Amino acid sequence: MSFVDSILAGLSLVGNVEAFLSLFIGIIVGVIGGAIPGLSATMAVALTLPFTFAMAPINGILLLLGVYKGGIFGGSIPAILIKTPGTPASSATILDGYPMAEKGEAGKALGMALWASCTADFVSNMALIVFAGWLASFALNFGPPEFFALILFSLTIIAGVSGESLLRGALSAILGLLLATIGLDLVYGTNRFTFEDPNMMGGLNFIAVLIGLFAIPEIIAMAWHPEGHLGKARSLGKAWVTIPEYLRCLKSIIRGSLIGVFLGSIPGIGAAPSAFLSYSEARRTSKNKDNFGKGEIEGVAASEAGNNGVAGATLIPLLALGVPGDVITAIIIGAFMIHGLQPGPMMFVLNVDIIYGLFIGLIVSSFFLFIVGSVAIRGFRFVADIPKRILMPAVLILCIYGVFAVNNNIFDVGVMFVMGWVGYVMMRAHVPAAPFLIAFILGPLLEDNFRQSMLMSGSDPSILFRGPITWFFWTLTAITIFAIVRGTRRAAKLSKELQG
């Protein structure tokens, strides 16, 4: 079948009201699900899956993809307005989104999040269509040593989100790495720091840690000092994103989109590391790097571009290899199989109409996301009219519900509250929470790939330098560390000169 015939075959599947309506409804459900703290895009997709059983295959899959894409963007709304990430991928958006909201620029932050999300989503979809085969084959070159080098480089992000004190940031990251070791050993299956409690054998639930670290401290602060928190949530403000502001951030958006495409095409990485890596690179190269973490719109753009750039790219290994790119695409594989479809190379031969139908639907989804996102921002602005004494208890209820609903386990709710007090102490001590979260996310991946590399080589560390991919990431790590040390020394020298 020729390329034109393939497009026409795909168009015949999606060129109807039912297909586009399924995609549109999916995006609406995803934005709402992503905006509810603790629910996450993953759970929204899982809850939607049963509704696809009676639908036509292409319509059911488009519905789930719409929920996926809407959920990733939706998480930025509470992250910016109430400092509570709706999804793990929105964690990096808090770093500059909430400070912008504190300055009365929540509308501008949400607008930039939407523009960056839609741009990155479109770039990711085009990369899926154009480079699916090539990127999938390149991802096959990644083994444990390559993953280890990549994740080690990603950990240098910690320096970029440590605030004014690199030492406090390092201490926060070390605490995150320590808590990430709780649970069964990934290689030998032995218990680590479980204290013989079966609830801890699977490790600390990520959603519980995430919400506890960011949302609960705000609620505790309000309860502790209610007189300082009786006002309303941050209003959207009158300002909106201007074309010059979008163009100023376009370089970071494109870079973040490409980072998302690259990491999304590698199974198992996910949107959260992509968002933090995109944010770190934007800060490293920005002319306004000192303003990052204090309400820099470029930071919001980079974070949202990084996490949304993953959405289309995770379908590359799914469609080309039959391997899910992340947890959400693992759920979507179930939808394929329920309808008698087997993702992988043969699908490009046996079901090419489905493939190109999905391609067409994904391109349209970027425009649907912009429409739904614009309405959602204006709808969620009413959050700003709710007094905090009412809003915060409502947020607390949503947090408890979201954490409990992940595993139907009250223990996770307890973890959330414990982490909330840890986060509150860190907030009072001016210890940044972002390095903790990054280390908690990347720590298990770093350890797992390091130990697998050692098992492969018989404990020969030279395997960590076995090829051009590993050398590339080791070089980037060395350059970044050198730049951090040099920047720290310059800052210390300038501080002494000013004091003198």
DSSP state of 232: B
Residue 483 has pLDDT above 50, yes or no: yes
Query: pLDDT tens across 131-141, in order?
Result: 765 655 565 67
Neighbours of 226 (CB within 10 A): 12
Residue 232 has pLDDT above 60, yes or no: no
On the 0-12 / 13-18 / 19+ scale of CB atoms within 10 A, 496 is exposed
Instruction: Encode burial over 81-95: b for 16+ CB neighbours within 10 A, e otherwise.
Output: bbbbbbbbbbbbbbb
Query: pLDDT tens across 373-389, in order?
Result: 888 887 776 655 566 67
Say what the pLDDT of residue 496 is. 64
Candidate from 60-69, 363-372, 484-493 with smallest mean pLDDT: 484-493
First to last CA, the chain: 76
Candidate from 75-79, 117-121, 169-173, 405-409 with smallest mean pLDDT: 405-409
Cα–Cα distances (Å) from 151 to 20, 145, 148, 312, in that order, read 38, 10, 5, 21
Give the DSSP H or E segment for 47: helix 40-48
Say what the pLDDT of residue 27 is. 93
Query: pLDDT tens across 290-306, in order?
Result: 788 788 888 889 999 98
What phi and psi values does residue 43 have, to the nearest 5 degrees?
-70, -35
Q: Please work out, in degrees rounded to the nearest 5, the angle formed at the alpha carbon of residue 61 by the alpha carbons of 55 and 65.
A: 135
Say what the pLDDT of residue 28 is. 92
Say what the pLDDT of residue 328 is. 76
Residue 279 has pLDDT above 90, yes or no: no
Cα–Cα distances (Å) from 468 to 131, 141, 448, 465, in that order, read 21, 11, 21, 8
Mean pLDDT of 428-454: 82
Q: Report the distance separating Cα 283 and Cα 291, nearest Å.
A: 9
Q: Taking the CA of residue 10 as centre, how many other CA atoms within 13 Å lie in the half-sphere pointing to its CB?
A: 22
- What is the chain's mean pLDDT, rounded? 79
Give the DSSP H or E segment for 318: helix 315-321
3-state secondary structure of 387: strand
Neighbours of 210 (CB within 10 A): 27
Q: Please work out, in degrees rounded to the nearest 5, the angle formed at the alpha carbon of residue 83 by the alpha carbons of 250 and 374.
A: 50
Mean pLDDT of 489-493: 66
Give the DSSP H or E segment for 184: strand 183-184
Q: Report the distance separating Cα 412 and Cα 204, nearest Å.
A: 8
Cα–Cα distances (Å) from 442 to 140, 182, 245, in that order, read 21, 14, 32
CA–centroid distance for 286 within its chain: 21
Say what the pLDDT of residue 21 is. 93
- When pLDDT is cut at 50, 70 and 90, the band that residue 10 belongs to is confident
Query: pLDDT tens across 67-109, in order?
Result: 988 988 888 888 888 777 777 778 788 888 888 888 888 888 8
Instruction: Encode burial over 114-145: b for 16+ CB neighbours within 10 A, e otherwise.
Output: bbbbbbbbbbbbbbbbeebeebbeebeebbbb
DSSP state of 397: H
Mean pLDDT of 208-223: 78
Most confident of 42-56, 109-123, 258-272: 109-123
Residue 360 has pLDDT above 80, yes or no: yes
Among 73, 77, 58, 67, which Cα is nearest to 24's? 67
DSSP state of 433: S
pTM of the predicted protein model: 0.68
- When pLDDT is cut at 50, 70 and 90, the band that residue 26 belongs to is very high
Tokens of 36: 């509810």
Gyration radius of the chain's alpha carbons: 22
Tokens of 74: 């939706």
Residue 25 has pLDDT above 90, yes or no: yes
What phi and psi values does residue 197 have, to the nearest 5 degrees?
-100, 115
Q: Report the distance separating Cα 97 and Cα 99, nearest Å.
A: 6
The residue count for the chain: 500
Among 345, 341, 272, which Cα is nearest to 310's? 272
Say what the pLDDT of residue 37 is. 66
Percent over 90 (pLDDT), the chain = 5
Mean pLDDT of 425-443: 80
Instruction: Say which residue the tokens 């004091």 belong to.
Output: 499
Q: Report the distance separating Cα 159 and Cα 485, nearest Å.
A: 10
- 428 or 234, higher pLDDT: 428
Cβ atoms 183, 200 nearer than 8 A: yes
Mean pLDDT of 233-259: 79
- When pLDDT is cut at 50, 70 and 90, the band that residue 458 belongs to is confident
Query: pLDDT tens across 168-186, in order?
Result: 888 888 888 888 888 887 6
Residue 325 has pLDDT above 50, yes or no: yes
Cβ atoms 90, 213 nearer than 8 A: no
Cβ atoms 109, 64 nearer than 8 A: no
Q: Taking the CA of residue 423 as centre, how many other CA atoms within 13 Å lie in the half-sphere pointing to its CB?
A: 27
Mean pLDDT of 225-239: 55
Say what the pLDDT of residue 229 is. 46
Say what the pLDDT of residue 387 is. 66
Residue 500 has pLDDT above 60, yes or no: no
Q: Report the distance separating Cα 463 and Cα 149, nearest Å.
A: 11
- When pLDDT is cut at 50, 70 and 90, the band that residue 235 belongs to is low
Neighbours of 346 (CB within 10 A): 10
